[in-house]
Amino acid sequence: IVDVIVLPGNDCDINNQYVKNGVITVVAAWKDAPAATVKTAPKEKTLTYTGNAMDLVTAGEATDGEMQYALGNDATNAPATGWSKSIPQGNDAKTYYVWYRAAGDKDHSNSAKNCVTVKIEKANALVTADAQTVKESEDPKSGKDYASLTGAASGHSLGNVTITSDGKKLSPSEATIVNDNGEDVTANYNVSYSSGTLTVIPKTSVKVTFIVANGEWDNGGSDDI
């Protein structure tokens, strides 16, 4: 009987043998190697969408091994692949499931897998309708060229916006926000709206009296000119 600790998949030299009637009998009494330990568990970060990739958790620390991480689909089922010592990053505003473990060295097995749930919150953006001046017979202009965007990430701009008038007020709505590649990133924002001022130039009525010399005026009817 040989009493040694060997990780699964490794070879083991048999140094002691028990011989009976010319038969060598070897009994393997395998024991689990001691597991590596998560000394400091990673913690979720407080994050808000910036348009850039961000580390989702703080760095953990392991004893008798190294920390490894992987992104999962939920907080219940640990991923079987994708484990790395690199801290996972996220970009879009949503919920992420960061799994971690202490991966054992040659003398230690892996620790149990645990999960940290992290949420990147949506950023706040404001769309404001620009002031417009139009003639009484004209409609105000609509579209991204007649509104401004504030609070969005660098390189992000209005993809489009609807502007409607109500009296002396211009109300924006249904805005889309795009990144510098033209991709729609509106889902990453809490979009609020601010009205603009509408100035309408009314029609002006003018009465002109004139005298016809050497004849009579006849316009074929009684309509005002």
Q: Backbone phi, then psi, for 187, in 5-degree steps?
A: -65, -15
Asked whether the beta carbons of 49 and 188 are under 8 A apart, the reply is yes
pLDDT of residue 2: 45
Task: Give the model's pLDDT for residue 12.
Answer: 65
Place of tokens 């309708």: 129
pLDDT at 118: 98
Nearest to 156 by CA among 174, 138, 180: 180
> Phi, psi at residue 188, to the nearest 5°?
-90, 5
* Predicted local distance difference test score (pLDDT) of residue 127: 98
Q: Kindly report, residue by residue over 18-73, the tens digit of the pLDDT.
A: 455 656 666 666 677 899 999 999 999 999 999 999 999 999 999 999 999 999 99
Entry pTM: 0.76
pLDDT tens digits in sequence order for the chain, 225 residues long: 445 566 666 776 655 554 556 566 666 666 778 999 999 999 999 999 999 999 999 999 999 999 999 999 999 999 999 999 999 999 999 999 999 999 999 889 999 999 999 999 999 999 999 999 999 889 999 999 999 999 999 999 999 999 999 889 999 999 999 999 999 999 999 999 999 999 999 988 888 787 888 887 777 766 665
Position 200 scores a pLDDT of 93
What DSSP string describes the chain? -------TT--------EEETTEEE------PPPBPEEEE---B--EE--SS-EE-B---EEESEEEEEEEESSSSS--SS--BSSPPEE-SSSEEEEEEEEEE-TT-B----EEEEEEEEPEEEEEEEPPEEEETTPPPP-SGGGEEEESPPTT-EEEEEEEEEETTEEEEEEEEEE-TTS-B-GGGEEEEEE-EEEEEE-----------SSS----SS----
